[in-house]
Amino acid sequence: MSPASQTARLSRSTRPAQGPSADFLVIGSGVAGLRAAIELSRHGRVIMLTKGHPLESSSIYAQGGVAVALSEEDDVAIHLTDTVKAGHGLCREEAVRVLVEEGPARIQELITWGARFDKVGGKFAFAREAAHSRSRILRARGDATGNEMVRVLMAEARRRKMIQHLGRHFTVDLVVADGRCRGALVLNEVTGARFILPAQAVILTTGGAGQVYARTTNPPNATGDGMAMAYRAGAVLEDMEFVQFHPTALYLPSSPPFLLSEAIRGEGGELRNIKGELFMHRYHPAGTLAPRDIVARAIWSEMAATRSRHVYLDVTHLDAAFIKRRFPTIYSTCLRYDIDMTEEWIPVSPSAHYMMGGVKTDMMGATSLPGLFAAGEVACSGVHGANRLASNSLLEGLVFGARAARAATADAARGAHASALLPSSRDLDAGPSAEVEDADKLRSSLRRVMWGKVGLVRTRDSLVGATGQLSRWERALNRPFTTRLALEVKNMVQVGRCMAEAALWRENSVGAHYRADFPDHRRPGWKVHSGMQQDDLPADPVHETKRPRVVSLRTGKAKPA
């Protein structure tokens, strides 16, 4: 159902049966969601929705640290410069300025709430990572920074009586009435019950979409749900072609990819090809500390040249006691797979890691759909441009989570929420419910297509093939489903198609987006952002789905999808 027809239908509906009630709805429970909920709780009742367990967020797995200009050798202007440079000319400088200027206050706030960051001699132990010109990475317990930040934010949220947390509740879709987001359709994963949860404002903090790729460092729940539901509701998605591939994920045929923090290279780790040769000096003057997109493609090139499936990360020349103390989680994980990183080279290869694109927002987290706000990896404020600077993501969640909450409360105070009647959950179903035949197989096929055709290196032929297959899957999934697995697969296909269409549209290489058929990023008109929205024309009666419409957000000129 199109946003326009959905709006018309909802305006004629009656109110749903009484369910949980709140002034504000936060979908997702990572750093951005928790910080938003804490801010919102000062102004009304808040419900946080999380599919699965409340601790199943990408934030909790963040190892390297949080970048912030707090050291004596650093300042916000240098942090801004490093971020913009890493973004390859496509950062929105005003968004970056907000990030680096408000970041220190957000970190100090965490410290007052009980965050314990690592110290040496009574001072914070700042580390350096790739593309940072200063040591500005705060860490906790060596390589458990995200875990520590989530711990502190969870504890603070529990102290706020106005926050209610509903775990194992999957958000099926956003509810739009009279052109405004007014809540969400929710599935109770335990009972199977579906209900409408109304709210004055909704904040999406659902994280990324790494699971659309066969190799990813993201947890299993990173299926792009927030991007998909925002897209279906009529919101604009931006820069969906920019997917960051982390250079060093553990490569073992019998294990899932496990992130080996960039901080390892920051502490002196080296990259060697299958022959044992150091190679990064051939690709960039900064060697192993080059920006992530360059390191990832260098590894890809070495793998192709040596016909291997991995390279090696070598820290055997570093002090063993230091490695165990600095990277306890990574050390113990490698040992579980019979790799002692203090004595052996670690097999690594690139994996999908972070979405720079997402739901387009302004500097306060407002999307193009009134009543809907977004923060964190699901959002695209322009902070990251074409390539995220390492360790800026946790800071982004804190800064823009708080900002989105302030904007949502101001928006709700204007009273625009009070005019519409809401539907029942049945009213939102476009037809009889269905199930996906062999959903696990479809999910696996999707991930292989995305990895092979919309991965680190792209071409027109690969992208045309991907968009065609994704379009066919999308048509087959254009039905209401009743299980989390089926709904996730539907979201993954829809987000995957948006990513592939945007990558096909951008006929140049920049940052994390590399087109082998257009390797030069200095083509005319390259310095623009892609915008994507469902075509507002009626659905094709044969194909039964709306085509994505990709446009340049600076010129407004549409190009065919």
468-494 core/surface letters (b: 16 or more CB in 10 A; e: else): ebbbebbeebbbbbebbebbbbbbbbb
| Terminal-to-terminal C-alpha distance of the chain | 20
Q: Is 203 part of any domain?
A: no
How many domains in the chain? 2
Q: What is the mean pLDDT of the chain?
A: 89
Q: Which one of 319, 352, 385 terminates a domain?
A: 352
What percent of the chain has pLDDT above 90? 76
E strands of 408-544, at which residues? Answer: 530-534
Residue 478: give its domain's CATH number. 1.20.58.100
Question: Is the pLDDT assigned to residue 220 strictly greater than 60?
Answer: yes
- 33's enclosing H/E stretch is helix 31-40
Same domain, 259 and 348: yes
Q: Is 489 part of any domain?
A: yes
Residues in the chain, total: 561
> How many Å apart are CA 129 and CA 246, to the nearest integer?
13
Residue 324: give its domain's CATH number. 3.90.700.10
Q: Is 39 part of any domain?
A: no
> How many Å apart are CA 67 and CA 50, to the nearest integer?
27
Q: Is 111 part of any domain?
A: no
Q: Is 269 part of any domain?
A: yes
The pLDDT of residue 120 is 92
> How many Å apart are CA 8 and CA 2, to the nearest integer?
10
Per-residue pLDDT averaged across 82-93, rounded?
95
Q: Is 368 part of any domain?
A: no
Q: Is 18 helix (H, G, I), strand (E, B) or coil?
A: coil
Active-site position among 92, 232, 292, 497:
292
**pLDDT grade, residue 541 (50/70/90)?**
very low
pLDDT digits (tens, 9 = 90+) for 103-148: 999 999 999 999 999 999 999 999 888 889 999 999 998 878 989 9
| Residue 255: count of CB within 10 angstroms of its CB | 11
HEC letters along 93-162: HHHHHHHHHHHHHHHHHHHHCCCCCCEECCEECCECCCCCCCCCEECCCCCCHHHHHHHHHHHHHHCCCC
**Exposed (0-12), middle (13-18) or buried (19+): which is 72, by Cβ within 10 Å?**
exposed
pTM of the predicted protein model? 0.91
Strand order in the sheet with 311-314: 243-250, 346-355, 311-314, 270-272
pLDDT digits (tens, 9 = 90+) for 181-192: 999 999 999 999
Q: Which residues contact 192 (CB under 8 A, 6 or more apart)?
A: 482
Q: Which residues contact 494 (CB under 8 A, 6 or more apart)?
A: 224, 228, 231, 232, 474, 477
Query: Whole domain around residue 328: which residue ranges?
Result: 246-352
> How many Å apart are CA 33 and CA 297, to the nearest integer?
33
Q: Is 38 part of any domain?
A: no
**pLDDT grade, residue 17 (50/70/90)?**
very low
Closest CA to 160 of 524, 379, 405: 405
Verify whether residue 9 is a known catalytic residue. no
Q: Is 259 part of any domain?
A: yes
The residue that leads in pLDDT, 71 or 540, is 71
Per-residue pLDDT averaged across 322-347, rounded?
95
Query: How do beta strands 24-27 and 46-50 pair?
Result: parallel
214-238 core/surface letters (b: 16 or more CB in 10 A; e: else): bbbbbbebbbbbbbbbbbbbbbbbb
Phi/psi of residue 510, nearest 5 degrees: -155, 135
pLDDT digits (tens, 9 = 90+) for 452-506: 999 999 999 999 999 999 999 999 998 889 899 999 999 999 999 999 999 999 9
**pLDDT grade, residue 225 (50/70/90)?**
very high
Question: Is the pLDDT assigned to residue 19 strictly greater than 70?
Answer: no
The pLDDT of residue 14 is 35
Q: Give the residue carrying structure tokens 């446009």.
A: 551
